[in-house]
Every structure is written in structure tokens, then in C-alpha cells.
Structure 1
Amino acid sequence: MSLGQRDTQRNTTFVSPNGEGEEREMAEPPNIELFIKASDDCAGVGNCPFSQRIFMILWLKGATFRLTTVDMKAPEVLKDVAPGSQPPFLVFNGEVRTDTNKIEEFLEQALSPPLYPKLACRYKESNTAGDDIFLKFSAYIKNPNPGLNDLLEKKFLKSLAKLNDYLLTPLTHELEKNPNGGESSRAYLDGDALTLADCNLLPKLNIVKTVCIKYRGVDISQMSLLPGLTQYLDKAYKQDQFSHTCPPASEILWAYHTVAKYLKK
């Protein structure tokens, strides 16, 4: 990714995933600006899995865009762009879009082959794999009642195991190539390339990983009983589109410092 000049008055960075000066072969490249939550010191990206989700999509698409971080302590600065809206929101050729799911759908259609890669999943199951993890994690990590901890922990770990099983189960195209194959060898949810499903899940897993290390002393990316999950995260963190869009751990922990509860034994 190439970062061009920065407009400090708007906290805007010009992002060119394909390298500075390398343009798509099209008559009029779209004019894109993505607004995301700023870090507490306004120097970088803040803790917002929805913002990271759209950031990842644009990078994976290979689109050139302007990235503006929004100071949530003074969001009225951008009231003329999307009044009353919370990041992320997108301005695409002058049109403002504020719903994360609709932004994703729009980008998949507007930035389509042959100029841009398709990011939609081949398998619908990939879109819902791991979709209960963040809910179970939130209930577990925010629980103030020690008597409920074991139950909530069991539900949380069960959700991780369910994702692990999906990642290890061969998909149809894998079985067609190797009918007698055992565990899946794919890198990500839907295959060997990051998709929209990964853009949705990985930012949440990064939050889960960071908070669990701090408050439970457990790193979900290193759990020997969940080899599919550990392999998935290991490969994902090696991809710039994910690792370079993650907020600093300090931002995540700051967001949770008033709600996360230490485990009392």
C-alpha cells in the first residue's frame, strides 16, 4: 500500500494499494473517500471492526481512495458530509453511503471484474461461519457475576470450536480435487483468498484475541486444541490487508477497560 500526502486539517491520508502512480485502466477512476473512527489521540485508526471491514475491502479491491479518520470527540467537524452518522461511511463519486452492509454490497457491485476482483464467497456457509463468536465473547468478557463465568466461558469456547471445525472441513471444490482428502488445507474461510466473509470476521477475532490475552491470559491464536483457527489467524496476520488495518492493541484495550472483567478464581 502506498500512502500519499496527508491533509492534516481533515486527518486524511491518500491510499493507493497498487502503488503510487499505478492507475487502473479506466476512463474515469472513481473518487472514493472512506471515513473511519480515529484513535483516541487522533493519530491513527481507532477500535471499530466495521471501519476495518470496509478498509480491508477497499484495499483488497485494489482501489485508490482517501482515508479520513474521524475524531469521535468532535464528530461535528464532518456534519456536512454525513450528519448524524457514525463511522464508517463512504463517499463514492459524491454520493454518501452510511450503512456498513450496504456499503459492502455497493462496493462489490461498483468495483467489479475485470477491473477489480470479486470478493463474494462461493459458499454461503462461509458468510456465517463464526458469526456467534463476538456475541459469546462479549457476554463472557463483560460478565460481572463469577457464578456465571464457567457457563459463559463454555459457550464462548464452543463458538470458537465451531469455527475451527468449519475451517478444517474440506469445501466442495477441495473434495472434487481430492475425494479422499482429510482436513481442509485452505487458508481462509472460503478458500485461499480473503473474501468479504473474512473482512467481516477477522477484525472481530482480532479484538477477541487482544482482550482475551489481557483479561484471561489466553491467546486464541495459539490454542493447540483449535488448529484450524490458529492456522487461519496465523495466515491472516501475514496479509497486509488485515494486519495493517488493525488498530493498535492499546486502542482495543482502552475501549474495553471499563466493561471487561478480570477472571476471579
Structure 2
Amino acid sequence: MAEDLPKIELFVKASSDGASVGNCPFSQRLFMILWLKGASFTLTTVDMKRAPDVLKAVAPGVPPPFLLYNDELKTGINKIEEFLEEKLAPPQYKKLCCRYKEATTVGDDIFRNFSGYIKNAKPEENDRLEKKFLATLVKLNMFLETPLPHELDQNPNATEYSRPYLDGDTLSLADCNLLPKLHIIKVVCKKYRNFVIPKELKGLTHYLDKAYEQEEFIQTCPRNSVIHDAYESVANYLNK
């Protein structure tokens, strides 16, 4: 019954136009989770430069993303994720938690190394930082190309990847965390470094290709121009 459905309101960062979805991987992460769950929810973009008084009354001093669940404020990305996984549970909603712990941690260092690489203003440091950043992508690629235990159970002789996503055949919480960051990386590196993810990283290329086929991911991404604008003041052009 519709009246039994929880009232869910997700507040996310707005772009510079004050209306469209902004550059925030944490906002997209929660957006994806709710969409994948099949939950009914409303999405409100928050312009922090012109935050309305009503928003200040709802969540004073709390930057987006945050959530109202039956009018109860929920904050903290990990806490919200855990809350949604608990409350929006089978059989009515999809389970998104991972079977394998490594799926949730394998890309942890990618965004940090990307930030060091893209914000570097010293041309002489570029090659070193690019190699360090690339090493994190290689690590992720190796994980994606390595069969998981359940894949080996199905085919003990498997030597190559077959799954499309981090934890298996469907998008999981791990993908909701990592894919928004990888999208930002892909867009920003192309714009400010003319760097593209090497096609030799077949597992990673396959992973991204499959992700871009899913509306829960692509329809929650901010526009490329929004990402460019967000990094314009921190990314440095280098003459190589």
C-alpha cells in the first residue's frame, strides 16, 4: 500500500546554476542507492550560496547530502548508507551489500592520488604523480580481472574476469561509492591533463563500459560542464 511507504527526501549539492545536480560523488552515491533500491523518493538540489530559510530549519549547519526519512534527519554518508540498507530491505527492496570485503576497499586510494595528480602545479612532478595515480588504476584493474570465489566455483578453470561489476553481476554499494569518483576522474583528467584510462586496462575499461549502460548510474551523473567548472579553480594546466 502506498500509505505504508516511507517518506524519503534526499537533499544533494546543486551546481553553480543553483538547480541541477552538482559535482559531489557522495550525493550521487546516495542518489544511486535509492534508485537501485527501487524506493520512492524526492530529490532536492541545495544551493549552499543561497540556501533557503526552510532548509536551515530542516538541517541547520548540515551540508548536503543528507536525508529525511519520515521527516527524521539522517546525516553522515556511511551512516545513511547503512540505514537505507537496513530499512529498505528484501523482499520489498533490493539488497545492495557486498559479499566480498575487498570489493568495498579496492578503490579506496584512487581518488586521493587523483587529487594529488590533478592539483599539482609543478610540471617536474607531473610524471611521478601520474605514475602513482596510474598504479592505483592498475590495482583496481587487477582486482576486476581476477575471478571471485563464486566465479571459480562455477568455473574452476576461469582465469579471466567475467563479472561486470565489483562484487558480481549487479551494481552494489561498492559500485555506488566508486563509480561516481571514477566518472569525475575520467572527465577531469581528459580536460586538464589530456589523460585517458589506458585501454590496456581491460578489466577497468569493461567495468566502466558496463556501468555507462545502467541508467541508475548515467542518469545520476552531473553534466561534464558542471564537473569542469567545479575543478577549474583547483586543477592546474601543465605544459608537457
TM-score of the superposition, structure 1-length normalised? 0.88
Q: How does 1:10-159 map to 2 (within 5 A)?
A: 28-77=4-53, 78-159=55-136
Q: CA deviation at 1:264?
A: 1.9
Pick the structure with more helix per residue: 2
After the TM superposition, which residues 217-228 of structure 1 pair with which residues of structure 2 at under 5 Å, given as runs?
217-220=194-197, 223-228=198-203
Contact 2:106 2:143 in 1 (8 A): yes
Task: For 1:48, give the aligned amino acid.
Answer: C
Match of 1:20 in 2: none
Tell me how many residue pairs correspond in the alignment.
239
Provide the secondary structure at the position in 2 that maps to 1:165. helix
Q: Could you report, residue by residue, the CA deviation over 1:137-194 in whole angstroms, capped at 9, with x for unpaired residues?
A: 0000101112211111110000000000000000000000101111110000000100
In percent, how many aligned pairs have the same letter?
Answer: 64
For structure 1, the residue ranges without an aligned partner over 5 or more in a row are 1-24
- 1:75 deviates by 2.2
What CA distance in whole angstroms lies between the structure 1 residues aligned with 2:2 and 2:109?
41
Aligned equivalent of 1:236? 211
Structure 2: state its 5+ residue gaps: none
In the alignment, the residues of structure 2 paired with residue 26 and residue 194 of structure 1 have an alpha-carbon distance, to the nearest angstrom, of: 26
Question: TM-score, normalised on structure 2?
Answer: 0.97
Higher mean C-alpha deviation, range 223-232 or range 234-243: 223-232
List 4+ stretches of structure 1 deviating above 6 A: none
User: In the alignment, is residue 251 of structure 1 matched against residue 217 of structure 2?
Assistant: no
**Residue aligned with 2:44, SS:** strand
User: Distance between the aligned counterparts of 1:58 and 1:184, measured in 2?
Assistant: 28
Query: What CA RMSD, in Å, does the superposition of the two structures yield over aligned residues?
Result: 1.1
Q: Which amino acid aligns with 1:155?
A: K
Letter matched to residue 203 of structure 2: G
Give the aligned residue type for 1:71.
Answer: D
Residue 26 of structure 1: how far off its partner (Å): 6.9
Aligned counterparts of 2:17 and 2:52: Cα–Cα separation in 1: 17
Tell me whether 158-167 or 40-49 shows the greater mean CA deviation.
Answer: 40-49
Aligned to 1:80, the other structure's residue is in SS state: helix
